[in-house]
Structure 1
């Protein structure tokens, strides 16, 4: 996964620069999301990985599925990635692009994982704290994971806090084992 992100980043940065120059971040966001969806289809993954298919054949499938929703620039991206055998990283290109877009719009995405359902009051406090910490509008995705026992985990990009009871018990177990 990390290797695909490394492959995806230069493509995403190039597309982001192009989209920013054209003032078309939303358009590229939609187009990349559609391309990523196509690239994640199991049949498409098999085709991309199969050396029997040429780059042109694979791009033509994307072109046929996208129809009029594929821009000239989008097709150029597909051609470049196909020629370099990088289409498997297309979903990651879309993900990196969305991260760059969010940064440019002063938005941040966060994931909060808790052992139980988060209450409205807890959500308000978390939102206020994260907005202040990152000096941006934080979009929070809430998830539940009962294996945490209690507490929460917060992930924002590379930044993370693990305040779960499971983490604390694991640390205690490691300290006792020494």
Structure 2
């Protein structure tokens, strides 16, 4: 995985530069997300590894399935196919999104909860996080039954643990003094 990220980084940097020059950060993010979804499909992964598949066929497969790609994005896919890098499209997309979010001042938050969070509670939570961090926050929710209750929020390197499990662990640590 770390090797894939290393391979993907220069391509993500190039895609970000192209998108910034064209003032199309969101368009490229969508295109890369669609391409990453195509690359993640098990049948497509087999096709990528098939020695009988030519670079032209692979590039055409990706551009056809991903749909709605501008000519520069199509050339990007062709370049990836020629350099046998189509398999790292999920990593390219992820690295691109991180650069885009940083350029736009958007923070990513991962909210872990023991139970599903309804939309209104998530909206209030995101508003509180945006006030605390003085930045726009995109939150994704993960269900983790081991938390017992409450939430655990990771924003960058900062973790806010308001879970029952976290509070029990803090109490246990305090009692062992």
Q: TM-score category by the smaller chain?
A: 0.7 to 0.9
Distance 1:150 1:137 in 2: 26
After superposition, give the CA deviation of every residue in 1:77-112 in whole Å (9 maximum; x if it has no partner).
112222222111112212222222222222222111
- The answer to whether structure 1 residue 54 and structure 2 residue 62 are counterparts is no
Q: Secondary structure at the match of 2:149?
A: coil
- When the two chains are superposed, the root-mean-square deviation of aligned CA atoms in Å is 2.9
- The answer to whether structure 1 residue 41 and structure 2 residue 41 are counterparts is yes
Q: How many residues align?
A: 173
For residues 60 and 123 of structure 1, do their structure 2 counterparts lie closer, same or farther at Cα, with a shift above 3 Å needed?
closer
TM-score, scaled relative to structure 2 = 0.78
Distance 1:110 1:103 in 2: 13
Distance 2:55 2:158 in 1: 38
Residue pairs, 1:18-33, within 5 angstroms: 18-33=18-33
Distance 1:74 1:65 in 2: 13
8 A contact 2:7–2:88 mirrored in 1: yes
Distance 1:6 1:162 in 2: 31
Q: Offset at 1:59?
A: 1.0
For residues 129 and 66 of structure 1, do their structure 2 counterparts lie closer, same or farther at Cα, with a shift above 3 Å needed?
closer
Task: Flag structure 1 segments of 5+ consecutive residues without an equivalent.
Answer: none
After superposition, give the CA deviation of every residue in 1:117-159 in whole Å (9 maximum; x if it has no partner).
44756862x4344224432111222332212223422223454
- The answer to whether structure 1 residue 99 and structure 2 residue 98 are counterparts is yes
- The answer to whether structure 1 residue 9 and structure 2 residue 18 are counterparts is no
Distance 1:117 1:59 in 2: 40
Match of 2:112 in 1: 113
After superposition, give the CA deviation of every residue in 1:44-64 in whole Å (9 maximum; x if it has no partner).
111112233232221121233
Task: Flag structure 2 segments of 5+ consecutive residues without an equivalent.
Answer: none
TM-score, scaled relative to structure 1 = 0.78
Moved more, 46-55 or 15-24: 46-55
Match of 2:88 in 1: 89
